[in-house]
Amino acid sequence: MAVLSVISGIFHEATSIIGAIFVVAGIIAVIAGLIERASFSRKERTFEASQMPEKRAKRIAVITGASSGIGQKYARIVSEKSEKFGIDEVWLIARRKEKLEETAAGLAIPSKVIPLDVTSQSVPERLRNELASEENVCVTFLANCAGFGKYGSSAEVGHEEECRMIALNDSAAITITDVLVPYMRPGARIAQICSVAAFQPIPFFNAYAASKALLYSYSRALRIELLKKGISVTAVSPYWVKDTEFISTAAGEQRKLLLSSKSESVARVSLHDVLHRHALSTPGIVCTAERFFAGILPDELLAYIMPLFL
């Protein structure tokens, strides 16, 4: 009995301490978030006040992966909310020109179609040339939506496809961000489309999850680095989205996946978070719950659970 009461006492103390740590960490995170957002707004206001109205630059939104899925929805929604996002023109990037033209046809503001494989070596030069061809431009919004994944073991997916995933999901997103940040002014926003796959290792979706973990970590760190420039970075981490080309590309066929969301709601919720300069957007109940459990459960356990959701 005495031993039991000692164990119960230790358990009680431990849970109280862990609970207190969670509460204190939560309060610190909320306060830090509020300070960050106040800092973005102050820098944007100071910059706007210093601008002569007649010298105002054309404000560009650059969206990769705009020929389909989430990127296509992003283009439409930011064009509808162009005042809130501070955008005069949307630049649409992906490989399929005719699909980009379809996206462009549905936009509420002018756009430019840029058919481009974002993994190609010529991307920095091409983007700098496009910007140089305009008289006076700045980039106020960047969304890196281009991305793909492949199901299967590492051996099944193969080395070449794994490298292609890293080239598109990571190298291309980082390259485009590096090229465009110098053209951004205080108040600009960056959205990096990551995934819930970023939060833990996923066997049989291995390289994809790892590539999204890299992009997620990069985005969270870049947010702090760009704080002094007044540019916000939001890591967007959705769960399965059923009405895009992603799942058919990943699996070789369209699959029905439990609790998957629609691209319209994912785009709307995440753009609301981007607009409000959140560090992380989990646009839906499932991805929010997944983020929570990934934060408290060990990777050793999650690595066995996650393949059940593929």
Ligand X SMILES: NC(=O)c1ccc[n+]([C@@H]2O[C@H](COP(=O)([O-])OP(=O)(O)OC[C@H]3O[C@@H](n4cnc5c(N)ncnc54)[C@H](OP(=O)(O)O)[C@@H]3O)[C@@H](O)[C@H]2O)c1
Question: What does the binding site for ligand X look like in residue numbers (CB under 6 A)?
Answer: 64-65, 67-71, 94-96, 99, 117-119, 145-149, 168, 193, 195, 238, 240-241, 244-247, 249
Nearer Cβ to ligand X (86/195): 195
Nearer Cβ to ligand X (149/230): 149
Phi then psi for residue 137, to 5 deg, are -130, 155
Q: Whole-number minimum distance, CB 38 to ligand X, in Å?
A: 30
Q: Whole-number minimum distance, CB 58 to ligand X, in Å?
A: 24
Structure tokens at 86: 């501070």
Nearer Cβ to ligand X (175/187): 175
DSSP 137-205: EEEEEEEE-------S-HHHH-HHHHHHHHIIIIIIHHHHHHHHGGGEEEEEEEEEE--GGGGS--TTS
H or E segment at 258? none
Instruction: State how far the Cα of 284 lies from the Cα of 282, in Å rounded to an integer.
Output: 6
For tokens 């465009």, what's the residue? 180
Nearer Cβ to ligand X (138/202): 202
Instruction: State how far the Cα of 141 lies from the Cα of 187, in Å rounded to an integer.
Output: 9
Nearer Cβ to ligand X (85/208): 208
Q: Which of 80, 32, 22 is nearest to 278 (CA)?
A: 32
Q: Whole-number minimum distance, CB 39 to ligand X, in Å?
A: 29
Which DSSP category does 66 fall into?
T
Q: Whole-number minimum distance, CB 134 to ligand X, in Å?
A: 22
Distances (CA, A) of 93 to 38, 198, 262, 283, 309: 32, 24, 22, 23, 31
Contact status, residue 238 vs residue 197, Cβ threshold 8 Å:
no
Cα Dmax for the chain: 82
Nearer Cβ to ligand X (82/244): 244
Nearer Cβ to ligand X (86/238): 238
Q: Whole-number minimum distance, CB 8 to ligand X, in Å?
A: 43
Q: Whole-number minimum distance, CB 6 to ligand X, in Å?
A: 47
